[in-house]
Chain A
Amino acid sequence: MNIELIIGILNIVLISTTPLVFAGIGELVTEKSGVLNLGLEGLMLVGAVTGFITLVLTGNYFYSLFFSIISGVILSGIFAFLVLNLMTNQIATGLALTIFGIGLSAMLGKKFSGTPIEGLNPYYFITISFLLVFLVSYFLSKTKSGLIVRAVGENHNSAYALGYNVIKTRYMTIIFGGIMSSIAGFYISICYAPMWQEGMTAGRGWIALALVVFATWKPWRLLVGAYIFGGVAIMQMNLQAMGVKLPGQFFNMMPYLATIIVLVFISSNKLRLKLSAPASLNIPFEKNQ
Chain B
Amino acid sequence: MVYLISIKLRDDYSNFIFYLSPLVAVVLTLFFGSFIFLILDLSPIESFKIFFISPISNSYGISELFVKATPLAIIALGLSYCFKNNIYNIGAEGQLTMGAIFGGGIGLLFNDSTSIFLLPLMILFGAIGGAFWASIPALLKTKFNTNEILTSLMLTYVALFILDYFVVGPWKDPAGYGLPKSMPFPDAGRLPVLFDGLRIHIGVFFAIIICFITHIVYNKTLFGFKLRVSGLSSKASQYAGFKYKNLIFYTFIISGACAGLAGLFEVSGPIGLLYRDISPNYGFTAIIVAFLGRLNPIGIILSSLLIALTYLGAEDAQLFLKIPSAVGFVFQGLVLFFLLGTDFLNKYKVSIS
Residues of A within 8 A of B (CB): 36, 38, 42, 78, 82, 86-89, 91-93, 95-107, 110, 198, 203, 206, 209-210, 213, 247, 249-250, 252-253, 256-257, 259-260, 263-264, 267-268, 277, 282, 286-289
- Chain A residue nearest in CB terms to B136: A260
CB of B332 within 8 A of CB of A288, answer no
B90 cross-chain contacts in A, Cβ below 8 A: 38, 91, 95
Tell me, in angstroms, the Cα distance from A12 to B291 when the chains sit together. Answer: 43
A256 cross-chain contacts in B, Cβ below 8 A: 154-155, 157-158
Please tell me if B164 contacts chain A, counting CB pairs below 8 Å: yes
* Minimum CB–CB distance for B331 against chain A, Å: 7
CB of A99 within 8 A of CB of B161, answer no
CB of B333 within 8 A of CB of A101, answer yes
CB of A103 within 8 A of CB of B157, answer no
- Chain B residue nearest in CB terms to A109: B324
CB of A107 within 8 A of CB of B333, answer no
* Minimum CB–CB distance for B287 against chain A, Å: 6
For this complex, 17 residue pairs linking A to B, each with C-beta atoms less than 8 Å apart, are A82-B341, A88-B340, A91-B88, A91-B149, A99-B329, A99-B332, A100-B330, A107-B324, A107-B326, A247-B165, A249-B162, A253-B161, A256-B157, A257-B158, A260-B150, A260-B155, A263-B150
Tell me, in angstroms, the Cα distance from A2 to B112 when the chains sit together. Answer: 52
CB of A104 within 8 A of CB of B340, answer no
Please tell me if B9 contacts chain A, counting CB pairs below 8 Å: yes
When A107-B326, A206-B153, A206-B157 are in contact, do A87 and B147 touch as well, CB less than 8 Å? no
Per a CB cutoff under 8 Å, which of A92, A104, A247, A260 touches B291?
A92
Tell me, in angstroms, the Cα distance from A267 to B327 when the chains sit together. Answer: 40
CB of A95 within 8 A of CB of B284, answer yes
* Minimum CB–CB distance for B102 against chain A, Å: 17
Question: Chain B interface: which size bin?
Answer: 35 or more
- Chain A residue nearest in CB terms to B144: A268
CB of A263 within 8 A of CB of B330, answer no
A100 cross-chain contacts in B, Cβ below 8 A: 329-330, 332-334, 337
A287 cross-chain contacts in B, Cβ below 8 A: 7
B175 cross-chain contacts in A, Cβ below 8 A: none
Residues of B within 8 A of A (CB): 6-9, 36, 40, 88, 90, 140, 143-147, 149-151, 153-155, 157-158, 161-162, 164-165, 168-169, 281, 284-285, 287-288, 291, 322-324, 326-334, 336-337, 340-341, 343-344, 347-348
When A89-B340, A264-B144 are in contact, do A103 and B330 touch as well, CB less than 8 Å? yes
CB of A259 within 8 A of CB of B154, answer yes
A92 cross-chain contacts in B, Cβ below 8 A: 287-288, 291, 336, 340
B8 cross-chain contacts in A, Cβ below 8 A: 288
B146 cross-chain contacts in A, Cβ below 8 A: 260, 263-264, 267-268
Centre residue among B145, B329, B347 by max chain A CB count within 10 A: B329
When A263-B146, A263-B150, A268-B144 are in contact, do A96 and B324 touch as well, CB less than 8 Å? no
When A103-B329, A198-B326, A263-B147 are in contact, do A249 and B284 touch as well, CB less than 8 Å? no
CB of A82 within 8 A of CB of B140, answer no
CB of B6 within 8 A of CB of A249, answer no
* Minimum CB–CB distance for B180 against chain A, Å: 11
A260 cross-chain contacts in B, Cβ below 8 A: 140, 146, 150-151, 154-155
When A206-B153, A263-B147, A263-B151 are in contact, do A99 and B324 touch as well, CB less than 8 Å? no
A106 cross-chain contacts in B, Cβ below 8 A: 324, 326-327, 329
